[in-house]
């Protein structure tokens, strides 16, 4: 089914590309077909999420009726989730950890990227190559040794253990370096002539210029950390440190078939990311485009 | 920019703070020191939390590690055990199946969506947004949500199937269907992300090429074959490599929530089996050996993709 859709879209659009604004009936018909196809696919993609949200507004006996629109809207499930488990605590934990990781990561990565893009020092290319190589190390693969390192450093079961290992990631350094290589040197040189030290140039020239990319990366880091599950799962035991993803996963195993509650909990965990996505959609899309091409 | 111009007079008044700070160092050496300080936090962090664990994971493969942290050298013991562990080879077979189905399907779907997203249609922005939305949801929520939708008795999917006359299926409970369900859900999550990457690649192709092809009488299929496909090579390579690596080592969160590796280990991907050995049974050494083996496979597969696509370079010969 999936590949059929793919070939259909792969051939049809060609009609519309060269012709442009619907010359002749055949092309216009093709365009209408494409609009319908796009609309159907968009609805199919979003439908499961709509089921989640509307299911969270249904009562216990209606949640599994298979209908999209609730008969009778109730907010009781949300109330239940927040009173039966410390869900506020989970949300605050996730928010705190994601925010600290994001700020620290942007700060450290932009410093490193500035040095790699602008300062001259021996071994710069080797160092960049080494940092780039760590991009190939995917998180699940180093989960076990990372756990042992964190245990050795007494980072398990602490906020520090949830925050510090999550900061370091070559992806941000790489994207920021690309961005800094594209900045005009003149502004920095003017600052140097005025007697600015490197820190001053970085802080008052480079950082303000990198606002757009920092915003995009901030969204990315926050999203990744809010959605993180496996590391918090292995690195914490203390219920006070439960992050929201861990919270809903545990909630689900406790309330197995009370789908109205589970969906309410899942919606609460998902809504902040959807809001963030709608607010920063353009930045997210732009940063994905740059990461894919360069 | 504004902060530059406002701060400039103040800086100029002070007698060039950077220069007198260390009069004996040359400008070149000051630059070295500055670079070292700028790089120190990230370099140290990457060393401790990425590079050392990477090396450690290879080393650990030769040790037996007890839950309390005592290490005993056992040479190739873990690897011998791996060779004779049918559950591990089952998980490798499932991983292979998962990669071989997921990667091409995801590739074709995302490319198709990218081609569609490139069209100047009314409301195409809404289309892009809608398809990207699943990507921002956590895999835990994705897992819970689909567990609800695919429920044997009351799930919306089976209700729809029954009313359409196809009959219900046990999407996550039938060993023949469960892996397919996991793959379909992964496609649903990831297609928007790769759609954007394809879209970026497609937008790089100059529109004049299509115009010229149209004037020469090339149909849509012909211009896809002769213009889009060859010029999209770097993007295709990137998508292929990224999705393969992600498929080989990813999916842990979702499997954990959605199927727990079942039914009958039918969705027990290698990375899930490794996770279980380490964190359920405390077999850190054995799990590390299997992890290193998985990394080796990943490197080989990446090299093969690299060789087959010539690193995504454009065709030189033609």
Q: In this structure, is residue B231 part of a structural domain?
A: yes
A contacts of B124 (beta carbons < 8 Å)? 38
Listed in sequence order, the residues at least 6 apart from B290 whose beta carbon sits closer than 8 Å to its beta carbon are B78, B82, B88, B270, B273, B274, B277
Q: Looking at residue A62, what is its pLDDT?
A: 86
Confidence of residue A171 (pLDDT cuts 50, 70, 90): confident
ipTM rounded to 2 decimals: 0.85
Of B50, B127, B284, the CB nearest to A144: B284
Share of chain B above pLDDT 90, in %: 59
**Averaged pLDDT for residues A169-190:** 87
- A71 Cβ under 8 Å from any chain B Cβ: no
The upper half-sphere exposure of residue A251, i.e. CA atoms within 13 Å in the direction of its Cβ, equals: 30
Q: Looking at residue A292, what is its pLDDT?
A: 56
d(CA A162, CA A177): 26
The per-residue DSSP string of B225-268 comes to IIIIHHHTHHHHHHHHHHHHHHHHH--HHHHHHHTTT-STTTT-
Q: Looking at residue B308, what is its pLDDT?
A: 86
Q: In this structure, is residue B39 part of a structural domain?
A: no
d(CA A54, CA B288): 43
A14 vs B74, which has greater pLDDT?
Answer: B74
Q: Looking at residue A102, what is its pLDDT?
A: 96
Q: Looking at residue A26, what is its pLDDT?
A: 56
Confidence of residue B314 (pLDDT cuts 50, 70, 90): low
Is pLDDT at B244 greater than 90 in this prediction? yes
Q: In this structure, is residue B277 part of a structural domain?
A: no
Please name which of B299, B285, B301 lies closest in space to residue B77, comparing C-alpha atoms.
Answer: B285
Per the CB < 8 A criterion, the answer to whether A162 and A236 are in contact is: yes
Confidence of residue A18 (pLDDT cuts 50, 70, 90): very low
Q: In this structure, is residue B191 part of a structural domain?
A: yes
| Domain interval for residue B236 | 90-264
d(CA A135, CA A119): 22
Determine phi and psi for A60, rounding to 5 degrees: -55, -45
- B140 Cβ under 8 Å from any chain A Cβ: yes
**CA A153 to the chain's CA centroid:** 28
Q: Looking at residue B67, what is its pLDDT?
A: 66
d(CA B226, CA B213): 9
CB pair distance less than 8 Å for A34 and B137: no
How many angstroms separate the CA of residue B295 from the nearest CA in chain A?
A: 7
| Lowest-confidence segment of B2-16, B28-42, B44-58, B105-119 by average pLDDT | B2-16
**Averaged pLDDT for residues A286-293:** 68
d(CA A40, CA A34): 10
Share of chain B above pLDDT 70, in %: 90
Q: In this structure, is residue B2 part of a structural domain?
A: no
B182 vs B10, which has greater pLDDT?
Answer: B182
Q: In this structure, is residue B308 part of a structural domain?
A: no
Confidence of residue B17 (pLDDT cuts 50, 70, 90): very low
Is pLDDT at A138 greater than 50 in this prediction? yes
CB pair distance less than 8 Å for A289 and B196: yes
B312 vs A77, which has greater pLDDT?
Answer: A77
Tell me the average pLDDT of chain B: 87
**Averaged pLDDT for residues B159-181:** 90
Q: In this structure, what CATH number is given to the domain that contains residue B163?
A: 1.10.3720.10
Q: Looking at residue B315, what is its pLDDT?
A: 57
Confidence of residue B21 (pLDDT cuts 50, 70, 90): low
Confidence of residue B189 (pLDDT cuts 50, 70, 90): very high
Residue found under tokens 């199927």:
B259
CB pair distance less than 8 Å for B118 and A13: yes
Is pLDDT at B11 greater than 50 in this prediction? no
Is pLDDT at B1 greater than 60 in this prediction? no
User: Residue B65: beta bridge partners?
Assistant: B71
Structural domains in chain A, sorted by start = 2-80 (no CATH), 86-293 (1.10.3720.10)
Confidence of residue A165 (pLDDT cuts 50, 70, 90): very high
Q: In this structure, is residue B253 part of a structural domain?
A: yes
A161 vs B315, which has greater pLDDT?
Answer: A161
d(CA B243, CA B102): 9
Of A17, A127, A273, the CB nearest to B136: A273
Confidence of residue B127 (pLDDT cuts 50, 70, 90): very high
pLDDT digits (tens, 9 = 90+) for B248-300: 988 898 999 999 888 988 899 999 999 999 999 989 999 999 999 999 999 89
Please name which of B245, B259, B294 lies closest in space to residue B102, comparing C-alpha atoms.
Answer: B245
A contacts of B2 (beta carbons < 8 Å)? 208
Q: In this structure, is residue B124 part of a structural domain?
A: yes
Specify the DSSP class assigned to residue B48. I
Q: Looking at residue B24, what is its pLDDT?
A: 66
Q: Looking at residue A60, what is its pLDDT?
A: 86
Confidence of residue A25 (pLDDT cuts 50, 70, 90): low
Per the CB < 8 A criterion, the answer to whether B267 and B177 are in contact is: no
Residue found under tokens 């210029």:
A209
CB pair distance less than 8 Å for B201 and A293: yes
A contacts of B1 (beta carbons < 8 Å)? 187, 208-209
- B4 Cβ under 8 Å from any chain A Cβ: yes
Q: How many domains does chain B have?
A: 1
d(CA A2, CA B184): 9
Q: Looking at residue B220, what is its pLDDT?
A: 86
**Averaged pLDDT for residues A235-258:** 91
- A231 Cβ under 8 Å from any chain B Cβ: no
Is pLDDT at A12 greater than 80 in this prediction? no
**Averaged pLDDT for residues A198-212:** 90
Q: Looking at residue A196, what is its pLDDT?
A: 81
């Amino acid at each position: 089914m999936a590949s059929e859709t793919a070939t259909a879209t792969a051939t049809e659009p060609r009609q519309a590309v060269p012709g442009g604004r619907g010359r002749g009936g055949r092309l216009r018909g093709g365009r209408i077909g494409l609009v319908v196809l796009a609309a159907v696919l968009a609805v199919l993609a979003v439908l499961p999420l709509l089921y989640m949200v509307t299911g969270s507004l249904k009562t216990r006996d209606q949640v599994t009726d298979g209908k999209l629109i609730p008969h009778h809207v109730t907010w009781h499930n949300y109330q239940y989730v927040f009173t039966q488990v410390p869900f506020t605590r989970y949300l605050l934990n996730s928010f705190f950890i994601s925010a600290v990781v994001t700020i620290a990561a942007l700060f450290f990565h932009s410093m490193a990227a500035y040095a790699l893009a602008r300062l001259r020092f021996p071994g710069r290319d080797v160092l960049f190559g080494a940092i780039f190589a760590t991009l190939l190390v995917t998180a699940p693969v180093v989960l076990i040794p990372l756990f042992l390192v964190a245990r050795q450093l007494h980072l398990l079961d602490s906020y520090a253990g949830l925050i510090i290992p999550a900061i370091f990631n070559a992806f941000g350094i790489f994207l920021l370096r690309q961005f800094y290589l594209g900045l005009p040197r003149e502004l920095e040189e003017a600052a140097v002539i005025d007697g600015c030290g490197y820190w001053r140039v970085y802080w008052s020239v480079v950082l303000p210029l990198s606002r757009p990319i920092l915003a995009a990366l901030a969204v990315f880091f926050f999203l990744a950390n809010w959605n993180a599950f496996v590391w918090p799962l292995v690195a914490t035991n203390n219920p006070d440190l439960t992050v929201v993803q861990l919270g809903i996963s545990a909630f689900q195993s406790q309330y197995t078939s009370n789908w109205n509650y589970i969906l309410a909990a899942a919606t609460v965990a998902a809504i902040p990311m959807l809001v963030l996505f709608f607010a920063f959609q353009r930045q997210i899309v732009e940063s994905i485009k740059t990461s894919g091409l360069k | 920019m504004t902060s530059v111009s406002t701060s400039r007079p103040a800086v100029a008044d002070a007698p060039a703070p950077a220069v007198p700070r260390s009069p004996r160092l040359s400008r070149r050496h000051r630059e070295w020191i500055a670079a070292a300080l700028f790089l120190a936090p990230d370099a140290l962090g990457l060393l401790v939390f990425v590079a050392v664990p990477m090396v450690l994971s290879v080393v650990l493969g030769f040790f037996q590690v007890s839950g309390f942290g005592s290490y005993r050298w056992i040479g190739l013991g873990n690897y011998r055990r791996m060779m004779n562990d049918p559950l591990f080879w089952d998980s490798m077979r499932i991983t292979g199946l998962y990669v071989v189905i997921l990667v091409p399907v995801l590739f074709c779907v995302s490319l198709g969506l990218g081609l569609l997203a490139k069209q100047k249609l009314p409301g195409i922005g809404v289309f892009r947004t809608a398809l990207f939305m699943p990507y921002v949801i956590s895999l835990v929520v994705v897992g819970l949500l689909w567990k609800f939708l695919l429920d044997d008795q009351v799930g919306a999917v089976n209700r729809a199937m029954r009313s359409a006359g196809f009959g219900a299926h046990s999407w996550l409970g039938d060993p023949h269907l469960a892996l397919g369900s996991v793959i379909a859900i992964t496609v649903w999550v990831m297609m928007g992300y790769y759609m954007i990457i394809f879209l970026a690649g497609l937008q790089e192709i100059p529109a004049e090429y299509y115009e010229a092809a149209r004037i020469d009488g090339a149909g849509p299929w012909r211009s896809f074959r002769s213009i889009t496909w060859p010029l999209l090579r770097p993007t295709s390579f990137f998508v292929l490599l990224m999705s393969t690596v992600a498929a080989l080592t990813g999916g842990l969160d979702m499997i954990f929530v959605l199927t727990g590796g079942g039914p009958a280990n039918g969705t027990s991907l290698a990375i899930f089996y490794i996770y279980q050995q380490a964190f359920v049974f405390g077999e850190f050494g054995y799990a590390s050996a299997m992890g290193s083996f998985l990394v080796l496979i990943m490197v080989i597969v990446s090299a093969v993709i690299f060789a087959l696509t010539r690193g995504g370079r454009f065709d030189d010969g033609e």
